[in-house]
Structures are given as C-alpha cells and as structure tokens.
Amino acid sequence: MLERIFHPFDPFVLLFTAGMSFVGTFFLYKVIRWIEGLSASDKELLTNNIFSKKTWKALGEVVRESLLHKKIFGVNVRLGYMHMSLAFGWFMLILIGNIESVYYTSRLFKPIYVSVFWRFFEPGPTFPQGAYTPGFAFWMDLFLLFVLSGLAFAIYKRFHSIRLGMKRTTRQRPADRIALTALWLIFPIRLLAESATCGANGSGSFLTGSLGSLFASFINLDPLVLPLWWTYSFVLMAFFFTLPFTRYFHIPSEPVLIFLRKYGIRVSKESPGYTDLSLRACSSCGVCIDPCQLADALPGRKIQSSYFVKTIRHNEPSDVQWDCMQCGRCEKACPVGLELMPIRQNSRADLSFGTKSNLIGMNGRNGQSHRILYFAGCMTHLTPSIIRSMTKIFDQSGSSWQFYDSDGRACCGRPLKLAGQTDGANRIKEQLQKDFLASGAELLVTSCPICYRIFNEDYDLPGIRVLHHTQYILQLIEWNRIQVDQSKLNAAYHEPCELGRGSGVTHEPRELLSKLYLKDVTPDIEGLCCGGSLGGPGLTLATRRAVARGAMNDLSAGKPDVLITACPLCKKSFSPVSDIPVMDFSESVAQCLIEQSVQPELRKSTKTHRKLPVDAG
Amino acid sequence: MLENENHRIAVIGAGPAGISAAVTAAELGIDVDWYDKADQIGGKLNDYYQLFPDRTSAMNVLQEFDNLTGTARIHKHFGKAINHIEKNNGRLVLMSDHETVGSADSVIVATGFDFFDARNKEEFGYGMYNQVITSPELEQKLKTNPDSLKFDGEAPANIAFVHCVGSRDQQIGINYCSRLCCVTGIKQAIEMRELFPSCRVVNFYIDLRAFGSGYEELYREAQEKHQVQFIRGRVSEASENQQHRIVLKAEDTLMGRPLKITVDWVVLLIGMVPSCTQVQVADHQCTDQETGFLKAANAFTGHRLDGQPGIFMAGACGGPMSIPEAAASGKAAATEALQYLINR
Amino acid sequence: MAGKRNFGFDIQGGGRQIDLDHADTSLASELKDAVNAWSACINCGSCAATCPSGQNGGLNFRKLHYQIRLELPTLQELSTLSSCLLCGKCQLVCPRGIPTRYLSIQIMQKTKHYVRENIPSV
C-alpha cells in the first residue's frame, strides 16, 4: 500500500500537470521579460536590495495584501472576507496539503500533482499502514469550507454587489468568464471528489466525511470516484491554461510587484517592464469604480481604471482615456496600490507637436529685486478677485513682493505635461526657472495648485521656497503679520485634487479654515474632483457641470453657509452650480482682514494713479 | 356683453404690459384688481432715461401711461407681491406669502423680468472694480446724476460697452439671446458721446442685433453722426492696471488680432432673466424648461398660460421684449381674457 | 456680343481668394466627428482674446479654427499651434461651451506627422 504513496500516478493527473507546467513556464517567461524591461537604474535597485531587509518587508506585505487582503477589508468587511477566503484559504490548502504529503512520504521533492490529489492517493483508514490522519483531514476540511464560503459570497456578489459595498462591479470579457467559471468549479468539484473518496472509504473529516457518508448511504460511490477526480483535474487545467490570458494572472504577478516596489522601483517611461507588471497585477476587483465621479456622470462609459488597464493590456487604446480627469481617487482606493496616474499619463500619446511655446513676453520681467515673487497662474486671471485679494494681503502684510505674471501671459507648463507634451513643458520650465532664480526672490507664492505642483515636483529652484497661497497666508497669520476677524458662518472646504492628493497639502488649508470660520463642516470623505480638471480634456461642459453638481451635493452634507476653495479652476467649476457663495481662501481672508497702517518703507511703491470716480455705482 | 357684470380680472404687475392690460380691460368694461409689489406703477420704466429707438423720455411715456389709469374700474392694490395662484371652485385665488389677497375670474400675469446678476461673470470684475457698471446702472446715472461719470470733474477719455453679458453663454447656462441689449448699447453709446464729446466710445459685440423698427437707423446714426467705434470681438476678461484703470482683453475678429484697451468705464450690457418673484400657479409647471420664462400654451395663437384656462401672460415675463412689444402684449392678453369670460 | 474678353489678368482665383468649390475639408470632417460642438462656433473671439500665447503673438486660436472649417490650412498656419500652451483658458470662456482645449489636442494628434515632416524646426 505504501507503494501507492511512493509511486503515485493515474492518467488524470496529466491534465493538471500540463496546466501547471504551462502556467509555471509562462510565469517564469514573464518575470524574465519584466526584469529585462527595467531601466538600468531600476535593475540596480533590484540587485542592490534583493538580499536586504526589504525582501522580508515585501514578504510581509505579500502576506498582508495578497493573502489576507487587509486593504479590501477597509472598503467593506464582506468584500474583504470574500477575497481573503479564496486567497488565503486556497493558500492554506496548498500549504497544509504539501506539509501532509511531505510528512508521510518523507520526501521534499516529488511530482507536483501528488499533494494536490493526496486524498485520492491516500484515501483513508482502510489502509491501516497508510498515511491518513484525522488531524490533517480536519484542517483541510476547515480551509475547504473557508474557501467555499468565500465562493458563495463571490457568486452572490455577481447579483447583489451592493451588499458587499460595491455599487458597481467590473463587467467581464469572454476569456475572463471562462476562467471565472473554471475557478468557481474547482472547489465544489474538489469537495465532491474528496467526499466521494471519503465516502467510499469511510474517511474524511466533518465536511468531506459527512458528505461522503451521506452520499454513500444511497448510492454506490466507487464508480464515481475516478470520474470526479478526472473532472477536478480538468477544471484545474482549464483554469491554469486560461489564467495567463485573463485577470487571474494577477495571482502570481502581484507578489512580484510588491517585491519590486519595495525595492524602490516606480512607474516610469524608461521601465516598460515595470509598467507591464503593474498592469498584470491589476485583479479587476473593481474597487476603483465607485470612487470615480464619472461613474455617475457618464454611466456605462468604461473610463475607470479597471477597464483602462484592460484596454492597455489588450492593446486597444481608445479615446475614452481622454475622459479621465486624473483626479487620483481610484489610485487612492486601489488595494494593490497601483500607480494608476503615472500609468495613465505615460499612456497618453506623445503629441510632441513641438511646442515652441512662444515665450516672447515672458522674458526679462525682473527689474528690482523683491523677497516674494507672486505667480498668480493663468487661470487666476479669470477670477480677478483672487488677484485683488492677494494684492491686498501682500500689501497689508508689509511684504516686499513682485507680481510675475501680471499681464496674464505666463503659464507654468503643467497643462502641457498633463497632455503628454513633456518637451513643451520642459521648455517653459527652463525659461521660468531662469526668471525665478534671477528675480532674487526667496519665496515663490502661487494661487494655483496646478502651478504649485509642477513648481514643487519638477522645477529646480535652489534657494527659493515654493508655497501655495493658503500656506503663505497661514504663516502670515501665525506670525501675526496680518490679523483676521473670525466669521460667524460655517464653511466647508473643497480640497483641490492637485493640492491635496496631488501635492500632499492637506492640513494647512483646514487650519486656515478654522481660523476664518466659526465651524468647519467639511464632510469626512476622500477629496472630490470639481470636474474642471485639465486631465480630462475630452469631457463636455454638461458632464463637467454634472460632476460639479454631484460634488456640491456631497460637500453640502454638513449644511455649510459658504464653500471655500483653493483653486481658481475649482472656483469656476462650483460657482455656476452652487446655491451658496463660493469663495477662494484669499477672498475670504481679504474680507476679514483687520486693516492697519503699514510701515511705509516696506510697502510696495505705488505709482501715481487716476482717482476713482466719486459716486461709483 | 358680459352676462354677469360681477366678473373681475386680476392683473399682476404694473409695468408696461400690466398697465396696458389693466387699461384695456377697464376700457372694455371689466373691473380690474391691479397688483404690484411696488407702490407705484411703471415697473422698470421708472429707472430708465431715454427709450430707443427715438430716445423718447421714459418719464414722458410713464406719464402718458399714468394718465390712462385713472378710470374707476381699476382698483389698485399696490405694495403686494402675488406669488401664488390657486384654483378654487372655478375662481382663481391670489395669494401673497400664503395669505389670500383676492380672487378673480381671470388673471393676467405681467410680472416682468429681472436683470442678469453680473457678479456671475466674475471675469469682468463687476462688484469688484468701481468702474465696471451695468447698463441699468448707467441709465440711472444718466437720469439722476450724469456728473458721477466724471473723474475729478473731468470727462472720461475712454468708455467700453460690452455686449452679450449674461446672454448666449453656455458657461452660465443662459443660452438665449436677450434681444434688446444690443440696441440699448447703441443708444447708450450715443448718449455717452453726446455727454462727453471728447470721449472715445467703443462697443465690443459678437453679432449686432438691431432688428426693431428704427434700430438699424439708430446704429447708423451711432456710427456716422456720433463716431461710436464698433469692434467685432467678445471681451474675455477685465483687469486693473497700476493706475487702477481697467484693461480689457478682446480679439478684433475682423482683423484676426488680439487687442487690448485701457478704459475709464466699462458698461456691461446685461441680459434679461426670469423674475425671481415669478408667480407660481397651483402646482403646475408653466415655465419653459430651458429658459425659465413663462410659457404660453400656444405662442402662435395667444397668451393663455400653458395648461391654465383663464390665466394669461403678458410682457417680459414670457421672454425678453421691448416696451412697445410689452404694451401690445398686454392689450392682447386683456382681449383674450375678455373673450374667455364671454365664452365661459 | 458673345465671347470672352481677355482682360490681361487671371480672374479665376489663386492668391487670396477662398475657393469654396475646391476646399479640402478633410481635417474639418475629422474634427467634427471627434467634437460635435465644434460646429457651434460663432467666432466671437473670446478664446483668442484670453489666450496667453495669442497675446504674446503667433497663435490666433479662433482664426485657425475658422480656417480649418473653410479649408485645410497651410503648414505655416498649422504650425502656429505649436505655441499653444494647452492651458485651457479658451475652454473656460467659450460661450458655446466648446471643448477647445480638446480640439487643440485633436488637431495636434491628427496633423503631427504632416507638420513635423515638413517643418523640422517645429
């Protein structure tokens, strides 16, 4: 009898083995391609870190995320349980199955199918010298039940996804459906096959044993055993053969991604291998769909990341990608932590129309040297009250300042970058950098988060500190350079995508808000997009208004008297759809400023001007 | 003509359309209950200086109207804003802030319009820059205090009129044309040139709509006699220079070149929007979904309000229109109301 | 009297005359398909007025679009789009709500090769 254990074989195992070998080879091939597709510096990061502590950390993350799906529990407990039970449950089945077979064969290396079909080769207590113990059987049954419970959730989710916390779930492609069917069949059939064997042999634990005895009581199980194991092997093979071509390839890919990411590799145009790996690691879980505000404004249009990733994987770039507002909400929600924003941006065609960026007029704006350089931003000229307010604040604070783009002819270059025109953006950057450095300023203050972000991320400005005007104003208040009266109203803050998620400036605006208003009634949700984004050029005005209205609705939850923004584009997006006043921080501060006489030598020199009309308006 | 001499018509609104409706109804022998939220007749006619196309004094026109309204059949109930009309047993009940104020057999709604709030086009800086004013504000100044247009006793040197503010603009959701702003701009440009002969006046337009009787002639007069400069190009934004004067950016589309001009006054020719104190009728939606103005059941055949037998509309509450048009509309509505009462 | 008289110069066209009988509107058709609202332009000039590059010189946004609608622009005219900063101000001021920034991107995509092949300095 031990003979069978030491030389286990039956033709049906060939199906599984073929599938497993295929998947294994394919995976190995992909890993090699991914590593080949890394830039030289990324390859260095890999080789330098692979034998460091980071590998252990990555292993920890693999357990936490790929097996236990900790992040998905944060979205919804049932959803987390569903993913965890399948992943962790299956992993434990394989692990314990392998321990079981190693324990009894005393061999570490044997054909891969042995532990998978162990119950077939070692059916139970009728072979007294056999390798069956109730102990192992119990644990196997427990984890099988665990997986099956998750499977039940998964089937339920297909029909009632809202109960698992997802308003919408990804619609599947044909290949995905085949793989899904195979996957869903694996465990029920395993249950049947093992139960049949246990029933025929009086073995098994609380699940397989009981089921087996139940069946054995009214049918003869012997002829059913082999066909069931054939079926089991077949569905496993079907799953493995389809896996590399479907979303399920994320199962082996995600751990690889976690390791490389831990070593410091990031998405970049120079490492297409890493981008491909990221795309393969997307499990199409669909958690990114609900946070996307366009899911409501443009239902049915497959803009969201889980669809986008598929189109890139299958090489079908479409115009739909131009609708994405690049707000980053999906990136924030992604349980795998994919760098969705850089991937999207890199996939936008390199237009390289060769922006000469006619820079006449941007040159030589210096003149005298002032400590602060104010860059309003091109959009801000369409909300002139922001400029007026900042002028008042600068003057009141007694700062020595200069208005760089007072004629509205400058641009920071980021809109070009967002549209894939990196050459043009760089050319502007070079010109502006030169001007900024030559101006002698120590501080660069801007009213636009888009400008702020590129000045911070891409511009090289040694000796100059870049601030968004909310940060600057907060400092002025804290240093008592200006005083404000607190308003008796309640205010809600709309966090601009480029300022909050985009640049990490989240606390200062809130602090400033609480100094200016009686109560901060900003709802506790992930920052919304106003719809005005430059990242989604393909959107129509009607869609943008719809997004703004939706966001306004959410922001009004705390019944604010006024909506405060920190971006001219956001202000322009909300003003037409808001019943309450929409104000930029600067306007609010200028309104509440307690005016006082300022020391003359610090005041900006004013030239002679025409007096304003006596009775105006 | 009327079997029941106790029929009463209510006219809501005492602007040009309301005046015309009330007077006509009274002349045709019906008693009129006349309401207006203000204490006197005239509506916005009280605020105007001269009326296009021949620059008749608005006050004279108002006086003429006033003379007609002295008949005994007209019962004035001014100072009351009717905001709701309910139906009760074949009669129409008029309510002001949930209080019943009166009832009638037929109602003519002539509540007029509001001007567009120019603060909603913030790129022009209205409300922020003192020298940016609206066309009605200019009318007021011309009527009561033309000297307020001077700077330190000196005449302004440059004035710009901006057409199409608050009309034909998807960005603010008002897509229709307000019809009368262009000719208003032409008229006011002439008035400014007459008031300040040394001042340059420039009108920035997209399409010049001078469709009415005498309007095109006024346009020519503006060009030829008064040397008003018309530039085809929509102003995109206003900013303030170091001397606190206003700088406007536009494109001269006929030349195909961008343009800037520094001015002392910017007059925004604002459009007409539905009145915020528009009357609600029972629970019925009688407004046009797109524009918000009241809608006739059949604009080609009459003034009956959509879906409301016995309720008629007159004047600018149904859409932008001029004073003669509103007056004619008021007369027609009164006649239709009478027909309705006869045929009931 | 019948017969043509030779006035000594060619009055058939060429030079500045826009010949709508033989206009190449291929680019216009492609843009109309991509952006339906493009046809609603009333040539008000707000876009050209607010354009930072327009004020700097070089790019007249409105005029370029009008030209494309009439007939395919010259290479020189098309290459002025290289001054476009894609800032999006034009889109914010357009009274017809036309996504003008997207149109810039579309024109760049559709004419990139055409322009680059013929004006290498761009």
C115 close to A (CB below 8 A): yes
Mean pLDDT, to the nearest integer, of C101-108? Answer: 90
Q: In this complex, which chains have at least 3 CB pairs below 8 Å with chain B?
A: A, C
Of B145, B239, B243, the CB nearest to A615: B145
* pLDDT tens digits, A250-283: 999 999 999 999 999 999 888 999 999 999 999 8
Residues A343 and A393 in one domain: no
* pLDDT tens digits, A186-242: 999 999 888 888 888 877 788 888 888 888 888 888 888 889 899 999 999 999 999
Residue from A380, A587, A610 whose CB has the most chain B CBs within 10 Å, to mutate? A610
SS3 per residue for A338-361: CCHHHHHHHHCCCCCCCCCCCCCC
Average pLDDT in chain B: 92
Q: What is the structure's pLDDT at C1?
A: 37
pLDDT bin (cut points 50, 70, 90) of residue A302 is confident
Mean pLDDT, to the nearest integer, of B13-37? Answer: 94
Cα→Cα distances C81→A178, C27, C49, Å: 49, 15, 15
Domain boundary, last residue among A248, A280, A307: A248
B151 close to A (CB below 8 A): yes
* pLDDT tens digits, C61-84: 999 999 999 888 888 888 888 888
Residue A362 belongs to some domain of the structure: no
Q: What would you report as the CA-atom Rg of chain A, rounded to the nearest whole angstrom?
A: 31
Please tell me the distance from the alpha carbon of residue A502 to that of residue A414, in angstroms, as a whole number. Answer: 13
Q: What is the structure's pLDDT at A601?
A: 39
Residues A409 and A470 in one domain: yes
Average pLDDT in chain A: 86
Q: What is the structure's pLDDT at C119?
A: 65
Taking the domain C24-118, which CATH number applies? Answer: 1.10.1060.10
CB atoms within 10 A of CB A133: 14
Closest-CA residue of A relative to C109 is A351
Which chain B residues are closer than 8 Å to A408 by Cβ?
237, 239, 249
Between A605 and A472, the more confident residue is A472
The candidate with the shortest Cα–Cα distance to C49, out of C39, C62, C58, C64, is C62
Residue A367 belongs to some domain of the structure: no
Q: What is the structure's pLDDT at A608?
A: 33
* pLDDT tens digits, A564-582: 999 999 999 999 999 999 9
Cβ contact A353–C115 (<8 Å): yes
How many angstroms separate the CA of residue A67 from the nearest CA in chain C?
43
A603 has a pLDDT exceeding 50: no
* A381-410 residues touching C, CB cutoff 8 A: 381-382, 407-410
Number of structural domains in chain A = 4
Q: What is the structure's pLDDT at B160?
A: 97
In degrees and rounded to multiples of 5, residue A576 shows phi and psi of -70, -15
What DSSP string runs through A201-253?
Answer: HT---TTHHHHHHHHHHHS--HHHHHHHHHHHHHHHHHHHHHGGGSGGGHHHH
Q: To 10 degrees, what angle do helices A208-218 and A174-201 make? A: 70
Residues A38 and A166 in one domain: yes
Q: What percent of chain A has pLDDT over 90?
A: 48
Domain boundary, last residue among A476, A506, A530: A476
* Displacement of CA A389 from its chain's centroid (Å): 37
Average pLDDT in chain C: 82
pLDDT bin (cut points 50, 70, 90) of residue B59 is very high
Of B170, B250, B260, the CB nearest to C95: B170
Residues A64 and A175 in one domain: yes
C73 close to A (CB below 8 A): no
Where do the structural domains in chain C lie, given as residue ranges? Answer: 24-118
Residues of B with CB under 8 A from a CB of C: 123, 164, 168-171, 206-207, 232-237, 249-253, 256-260
A100-109, A170-179, A491-500, C78-87 — most confident range:
A491-500
Mean pLDDT, to the nearest integer, of A443-451? Answer: 96
A406 has a pLDDT exceeding 60: yes
Residues A82 and A157 in one domain: yes
A324 close to C (CB below 8 A): no
What DSSP string runs through chain C?
Answer: --S----SS--S--TT---GGG---HHHHHHHHH-GGGGG-----HHHHH-HHHHHSS--HHHHHHHHHHSPPPHHHHHGGGG-----HHHHH-TT---HHHHHHHHHHHHHHHHHHH-TT-
* pLDDT tens digits, B60-94: 999 999 999 888 899 999 998 998 999 888 889 99
Q: In this complex, which chains have at least 3 CB pairs below 8 Å with chain A?
A: B, C
Residues A577 and A549 in one domain: yes
Q: What is the structure's pLDDT at A219?
A: 85
Q: What is the structure's pLDDT at A201?
A: 80
Which chain A residues are closer than 8 Å to C53 by Cβ?
357-358
Output DSSP code: residue A481: S
Q: What is the structure's pLDDT at A208?
A: 82
Residues A317 and A243 in one domain: no
Residue from B253, B254, B261 whose CB has the most chain C CBs within 10 Å, to mutate? B253
Residues A69 and A152 in one domain: yes
Name B169's bridge partners.
B174
The predicted complex's ipTM stands at 0.85
Q: Which of A315-319, B174-178, B219-223, B239-243 has the lowest mean pLDDT?
A: A315-319
Residue A612 belongs to some domain of the structure: no
Residues A194 and A296 in one domain: no
Sorted by where each starts, the structural domains of chain B and their CATH numbers stand as 8-112+275-343 (3.50.50.60), 115-272 (3.50.50.60)
Residues A423 and A568 in one domain: no
How many angstroms separate the CA of residue C119 from the nearest CA in chain A?
10
B318 has a pLDDT exceeding 80: yes
Domain boundary, last residue among A435, A459, A476: A476
Residues A199 and A304 in one domain: no
Which chain C residues are closer than 8 Å to B207 by Cβ?
42
Please tell me the distance from the alpha carbon of residue A578 to that of residue A252, in angstroms, as a whole number. Answer: 48
Residue A333: give the domain boundaries. Answer: 253-347
Residues A53 and A116 in one domain: yes
Of B125, B152, B243, the CB nearest to A607: B243
Per the listing, tokens 């809600």 go with: A492
B46 has a pLDDT exceeding 90: yes
Q: Which of A53-62, A146-155, B49-58, C106-115 has the lowest mean pLDDT?
A: C106-115
A312 has a pLDDT exceeding 90: no
Mean pLDDT, to the nearest integer, of A19-44? Answer: 93
